[in-house]
Chains A and B, each alone.
Chain A
């Protein structure tokens, strides 16, 4: 079976559990790799494994321990030698400054985390369909 690799940089245990469940539900072929802090994520992005087998999409939480999501995004986009994958920023809030900062740091999309399961399903479905389509190869 085709494996679709998704990288999720997310520190919250319950969000991780929920996303694992929903992503599997949306697309059974999805394999989600979770990294739980910004520093580890940066190391992984610079690791040969990442270059060898890049994910189709990165879901990045804005609030991360050690290095924040916005900072991490900026650093990642600045790296010329590693594959640049679509990044969707996820946030618990919808503050205007956060949104603006995300796009200017190189995010492809910004999505406030919905509080309702069905809403979350919808959002993630749209994200996955669109960005996997865009990033087919």
Chain B
């Protein structure tokens, strides 16, 4: 016995089998000589004619001249049928020209069929198909209607996927039969050339799976193409497949959508069953109507999906536009982002950050995957429904095997990714395993087919549909637009901020200036008072004068600092190279700590080295940092200040009162003071220090613990 593996069928030239089924007979005519060049073994017996071999005879030996003329005139690729009475028996004669020969097939006319009644029945069916709301409902409805129309034991609607694997999407059956609804079949169950035949023939009947077939005798040394033959015998392998399922007869109609085989209407009977050509033609017509309706509804469904995706995108965009932080907005709306496609999970990869939603691989796996994608392709879009085949990537978490990756730019840096799980993960055997048809020879059965299908599907996700890709691409364009828009907005804001800042600087400059004159008046006249009238004042008056003096001094310092701070805004750093140790010495000379802070030990590390910068500014920076350190450590038991350099950064450290690091942002702001008036200061010193460092494209930061050490670090960028 030939080993039965349905993939063998792929190679079997089934349209060239010179055999027909039992329920009819066949003649082959040469259109030029108009003589019979072939006949089926049962021809004479079938039509009740006792002549010898019909080979070489003219057709009018058997048929009326009217029919013969029509047969000779039949054009290629059309089938014509006529009712012909031969020897008091009504036959249906179906003939077509296959391009080389004319093939005449003769079947019995079923007397019980009333054509008018059948047409009425059909129009009812069409009406019922019309009211079905969606594809699923229409399939279910069609299965039931066809069952009622043809009386087969089981009618299934079978849908192909992109790899030609099939699935039973609707079924109508005799109650006693086990349901096959939801079953999946591998592509090999309906091999390629069988699919081609379905596509060209439309409806195909196998009247008796277990019956023998009739040989066709052909007088020419050439193969005869039986593609369009109604009676063509079935491939032995397919017969065995049907036998394994205990099927006695089948009727199959092709559902064609957009010129492609969408699926099949498969009717099974458990005894032999033959329906006549009229009924088959009706089924063919019904299937065509069904296909058209299906096309319409599929288009609607696709449109609906596209619309839904568009709505989701619009909603998402609204949220993204309203938020400055795009990553944050995407994070909060991950679900919507995922639902732009039919993915089970999605990831946004921005600036090295992953925003994950749904079912995806692990973060490490995603990073590795991105790397593999970049290595394999320079395109800005990458997609596959089988990562193992495409990138040799396996064993991802959540059984992810499909990915749609869109890079934000051709540099392949930031990316949007959608993921799909392996199909088989969510598909289960629909029937009850105990009741399923198991073939004792262990060859072919629905269960085996399912197992095989599972193997074939292993590693595959659902494919990426055009609307999903379009939606993902649109999302990228929108995000780019938003980013660009935000960038422009930011530039504009930045410009405005600069202008406002400048205005503020000149404002504070002139205000401070204008404050000088009245202050000079206050200070001058209070001094004149104390020079000229000190003796006539009582103690309180003297105190008051002194307070005025102190206050004006303090205010002068404040104005100095504000002027210095706002002055820094305008100035560019005047670079020169100088010795840092020398500068520190100068600052210490200027601050003269011995006078006020006699207790404080000041340690200056040697070898601070040469520095490039604006010497006057850095003088200011150091004097601010050191005077701060002096001020805040003064009350420590043994005040200690260290000025040094650590890993390229200068630092000023004290053991004073310290501060809580949660206020770190505040201390560099203008007029931000963390302490009370016990510690003198304008509150601008650190703001000035920060500005000096910024003028040198450097960095100023601090580390501190409350009641402990405080260290201010700064780093200067020489390039300025």
Looking at A92, A116, A120, which has the most chain B CB atoms within 10 Å of its CB? A92
A13 to B521, CA, bound (A): 9
In the complex, the answer to whether A18 meets B519 with C-beta atoms within 8 Å is no
Interface of A is mostly: helix
- B residues 157-210 touching A (CB-CB < 8 Å): none
In the complex, the answer to whether A113 meets B518 with C-beta atoms within 8 Å is no
**CB-CB under 8 A for A92 and B527, given A15-B521, A17-B521, A18-B520:** no
In the complex, the answer to whether B516 meets A18 with C-beta atoms within 8 Å is no
- Residue-wise interface mask of B (496-540) relative to A, using a CB-CB cutoff of 8 A (1 in contact, 0 not): 000000000000000001001111111111011000000000000
In the complex, the answer to whether A113 meets B521 with C-beta atoms within 8 Å is no
Contacts of A113 in B (CB 8 A): 516-517, 520
CB distance from B712 to the nearest CB of A (A): 29
Nearest neighbor of B510 in chain A, beta-carbon distance: A63
Contacts of A21 in B (CB 8 A): 524, 528
- Residue-wise interface mask of A (97-122) relative to B, using a CB-CB cutoff of 8 A (1 in contact, 0 not): 00000000000000001011110100
- A residues 8-66 touching B (CB-CB < 8 Å): 12-15, 17-18, 21, 63
Q: How many A-B residue pairs have CB under 8 A?
A: 45
- A93 at interface by CB-CB < 8 Å: yes
B513, B524, B525: the one within 8 Å of A92 (CB): B513
In the complex, the answer to whether A14 meets B518 with C-beta atoms within 8 Å is yes
**CB-CB under 8 A for A18 and B524, given A92-B513, A93-B513, A115-B556:** yes
**Number of A positions contacting B (CB below 8 A):** 16
In the complex, the answer to whether A92 meets B521 with C-beta atoms within 8 Å is no
Contacts of A118 in B (CB 8 A): 527
A63 to B515, CA, bound (A): 13
Nearest neighbor of B518 in chain A, beta-carbon distance: A14
In the complex, the answer to whether A115 meets B522 with C-beta atoms within 8 Å is no
A17 to B521, CA, bound (A): 8
In the complex, the answer to whether A14 meets B520 with C-beta atoms within 8 Å is yes
A21 to B528, CA, bound (A): 9
Contacts of B556 in A (CB 8 A): 115
A6 to B523, CA, bound (A): 24
CB distance from B566 to the nearest CB of A (A): 11
CB distance from B632 to the nearest CB of A (A): 27
Contacts of A14 in B (CB 8 A): 517-518, 520-522, 524-525
CB distance from A85 to the nearest CB of B (A): 24
A21 to B556, CA, bound (A): 22
A118 to B523, CA, bound (A): 11
In the complex, the answer to whether B521 meets A18 with C-beta atoms within 8 Å is yes
A22 to B441, CA, bound (A): 128
A63 to B517, CA, bound (A): 11
CB distance from B548 to the nearest CB of A (A): 12
A13, A93, A117: the one within 8 Å of B524 (CB): A117
Contacts of A120 in B (CB 8 A): 520, 524
A17, A63, A115: the one within 8 Å of B513 (CB): A63
Nearest neighbor of A113 in chain B, beta-carbon distance: B520
Nearest neighbor of A63 in chain B, beta-carbon distance: B513
Contacts of B517 in A (CB 8 A): 12, 14-15, 92, 113
In the complex, the answer to whether A115 meets B523 with C-beta atoms within 8 Å is yes
Contacts of B523 in A (CB 8 A): 115-117
CB distance from B556 to the nearest CB of A (A): 5
In the complex, the answer to whether B518 meets A117 with C-beta atoms within 8 Å is no
- B residues 201-239 touching A (CB-CB < 8 Å): none
A127 to B521, CA, bound (A): 20
In the complex, the answer to whether B525 meets A115 with C-beta atoms within 8 Å is no
Contacts of B521 in A (CB 8 A): 12-15, 17-18
Looking at B516, B520, B524, B563, which has the most chain A CB atoms within 10 Å of its CB? B524
Nearest neighbor of A13 in chain B, beta-carbon distance: B521
Nearest neighbor of A18 in chain B, beta-carbon distance: B524
Looking at B517, B523, B556, which has the most chain A CB atoms within 10 Å of its CB? B517
In the complex, the answer to whether A18 meets B525 with C-beta atoms within 8 Å is yes
A117 to B520, CA, bound (A): 8
**CB-CB under 8 A for A115 and B519, given A63-B513, A92-B513:** yes
CB distance from A130 to the nearest CB of B (A): 22
A92 to B515, CA, bound (A): 10
CB distance from A118 to the nearest CB of B (A): 8
CB distance from B330 to the nearest CB of A (A): 51
Contacts of A93 in B (CB 8 A): 513, 563
A12 to B522, CA, bound (A): 13
Contacts of A12 in B (CB 8 A): 517-518, 521
Contacts of B525 in A (CB 8 A): 14, 17-18
Nearest neighbor of A95 in chain B, beta-carbon distance: B567
Contacts of B528 in A (CB 8 A): 21, 117
A34 to B155, CA, bound (A): 116
CB distance from A21 to the nearest CB of B (A): 7
A81 to B315, CA, bound (A): 80
A18 to B517, CA, bound (A): 10
In the complex, the answer to whether A117 meets B527 with C-beta atoms within 8 Å is yes
A118 to B517, CA, bound (A): 16
CB distance from B682 to the nearest CB of A (A): 15
Nearest neighbor of A21 in chain B, beta-carbon distance: B528
A21 to B527, CA, bound (A): 12
Nearest neighbor of A17 in chain B, beta-carbon distance: B521
A12 to B524, CA, bound (A): 14
A120 to B527, CA, bound (A): 12
- B residues 461-518 touching A (CB-CB < 8 Å): 513, 516-518
A14 to B519, CA, bound (A): 9
A115 to B513, CA, bound (A): 12
Contacts of A92 in B (CB 8 A): 513, 516-517
A92 to B520, CA, bound (A): 10
A58 to B166, CA, bound (A): 107
Contacts of B520 in A (CB 8 A): 14-15, 18, 113, 115, 120
A86 to B351, CA, bound (A): 67
In the complex, the answer to whether B518 meets A115 with C-beta atoms within 8 Å is no
CB distance from B631 to the nearest CB of A (A): 22
Contacts of B518 in A (CB 8 A): 12, 14
CB distance from B157 to the nearest CB of A (A): 90
CB distance from A100 to the nearest CB of B (A): 16
A63 to B514, CA, bound (A): 10
Nearest neighbor of A25 in chain B, beta-carbon distance: B528
Nearest neighbor of B556 in chain A, beta-carbon distance: A115
A17 to B525, CA, bound (A): 9
A66 to B634, CA, bound (A): 51
A120 to B516, CA, bound (A): 13
- B residues 411-462 touching A (CB-CB < 8 Å): none
CB distance from B502 to the nearest CB of A (A): 16
CB distance from B617 to the nearest CB of A (A): 15
A14 to B522, CA, bound (A): 8
Nearest neighbor of A116 in chain B, beta-carbon distance: B523
The 30 listed contacts between A and B (C-beta, < 8 Å) are A12-B518, A14-B517, A14-B518, A14-B520, A14-B521, A14-B522, A14-B524, A14-B525, A15-B521, A17-B521, A17-B525, A18-B520, A18-B521, A18-B524, A18-B525, A21-B524, A63-B513, A92-B513, A92-B516, A92-B517, A93-B513, A93-B563, A115-B516, A115-B556, A116-B523, A116-B527, A117-B524, A117-B527, A117-B528, A120-B520
The 5 closest A-B CB pairs, nearest first, are A14-B521, A12-B517, A117-B527, A92-B516, A117-B524
Binding site for A on B (CB under 8 A): 513, 516-525, 527-528, 556, 563
Identify 7 new A-B residue pairs, CB closer than 8 A, beyond the known A17-B525, A18-B521.
A15-B517, A18-B520, A18-B525, A21-B524, A113-B516, A115-B556, A120-B524
